[in-house]
Amino acid sequence: MLRLPTFDYVSPGTVSEVLAVLAENPDARLVAGGTDLLPNLKHGIESAGTVVSLSRLPDLSSVTEREDGSLELGAMLTLEALAGHATVRARLPSLAQAAGLIAGPHHRRMGTLGGNVCLNTRCVYINQTHFWREALGYCLKKDGSACHVVRRGKRCVAAASNDSAPVLTTLGASLIVASAARGERTIAVADFYVFDGVNNKTLEPDEMLLKVIVPAPARGLHAAYAKLRPRDSIDFPRLSVAVAYELPDESTVSNLRIVLSALAAKPIALRKVTELAEGRAPTEDLWSELADSAYAQAHPLTNIDGDATYRREMVPVYVRRALRDALEHGASR
């Protein structure tokens, strides 16, 4: 049986107390639902001197409509609540869809939006028992000096595997994070992740995520999410595709975005697709051209399970599926 290592545990009742603990304990780690942090602690993939529970914090689990029409989503909102929330389903159907496809029902009941946004990266060479990793000589991400995915690679390429990240990127969302020393700051989700699998977030150790802000949907917004995974009931993505575009006059596409994930350490916003689709009719011909562009830009690695060649062949298939799904079922209301 895998056991948790020893650590101090605190469960503050206010955000400022959480921030004070983070400021005083550089080795402190936040735990929300614990569905990722706890297995990682058990496997020795992550360590913590102090574990700070967010479960007693009030007011971080709500969905609030702001005056400008944007939605404010609390970091402690569970995935189950997010997926089932009537306003989120109506206004941001691709986000509700992605939340409902994360892990299995038990994880979604415990797991939170904040934990998902801040999820650690994944790799077949790191998400293993300590014994397994030791036998391999560890790797760059933890305890070692070499990467087993990119030979002589100097940077970890473990994959961003959180389903919310590509969707929030297509929706132009931003994050409100806070620290005791510097107060609150806002950062676009598109700028939050970096190409470094050791730590793919621009979140300082003394900061916590408070809220996710999603702007009011543009007129005629259509969006959808498509996810390739071995078992639809529980698994992490082998490929994630989030799409969003506007059909302001119902017949021509505007401002199209496609973001792929589960490939590299951060979600990848495809280049040139906005220009390719602008002003064109939402037809199968256009979807095929966009799918071809996605295929040309996607280069899966052997960082997560699933044959990399197969995952690349699935890119155009899942891009077409997401684009069609957005047209048929993904209109914001």
Ligand X SMILES: Cc1cc2nc3c(=O)[nH]c(=O)nc-3n(C[C@H](O)[C@H](O)[C@H](O)COP(=O)(O)OP(=O)(O)OC[C@H]3O[C@@H](n4cnc5c(N)ncnc54)[C@H](O)[C@@H]3O)c2cc1C
Q: Which residues bind ligand SF4 (CB under 6 A)?
A: 123, 125-126, 139-141, 147-149, 156-158, 197, 303
| 22 closest CA partner among 241, 182, 244 | 182
Residue appearing with tokens 């929300």: 32
Q: Which of the choices ligand SF4, ligand X, none does residue 22 contact, using the CB cut-off of 5 to 8 A by kind?
A: none
C-alpha 193/C-alpha 199 separation (Å) is 9
Q: Which is nearer to ligand SF4, 75 or 149 (CB)?
A: 149
**Which span sits near ligand X by CB under 6 A: 136-144, 161-169, 270-278, 316-324?**
161-169
**Segment (H or E) for 117:** helix 113-117
172 lines the binding site for ligand X (CB under 6 A): no
Which two tokens mark 317?
Answer: 């298939």
208 lines the binding site for ligand X (CB under 6 A): yes
Residues 54-73 vs ligand X: string with x where CB under 6 A?
x-------------------
Q: Which is nearer to ligand X, 127 or 254 (CB)?
A: 127
Beta bridge partners of 65: 71
33 lines the binding site for ligand X (CB under 6 A): yes
**Which span sits near ligand X by CB under 6 A: 100-108, 130-138, 139-147, 316-324?**
100-108
Size of the site for ligand X (CB under 6 A): 34
Cα–Cα separations (whole angstroms), residue 267 to 202, 223, 309: 14, 17, 19
If you count DSSP H runs as helices and E runs as strands, how many of each does the chain have, helices first?
13, 12
Question: In this structure, are residues 278 and 176 in contact, taking their beta carbons and an 8 Å threshold?
Answer: no
Q: How many residues does the chain have?
A: 333
Q: How far is the CB of 76 from ligand SF4 (least distance, A)?
A: 28
Question: At how many degrees (to 10) do helices 308-329 and 284-297 cross?
Answer: 150
**Which span sits near ligand X by CB under 6 A: 27-35, 282-290, 295-303, 321-329?**
27-35
Q: How far is the CB of 281 from ligand X (least distance, A)?
A: 34
Other beta carbons within 10 angstroms of residue 212's beta carbon come to: 25
Q: Which of the choices ligand SF4, ligand X, none does residue 75 contact, using the CB cut-off of 5 to 8 A by kind?
A: ligand X
Residue 283 CA, chain-centre distance (Å), reads 29
Interacting residue ranges for ligand X, rule: CB under 6 A: 29-37, 39, 54, 75, 79, 102-103, 107, 110-112, 114-116, 118-120, 161-163, 208-209, 234-237
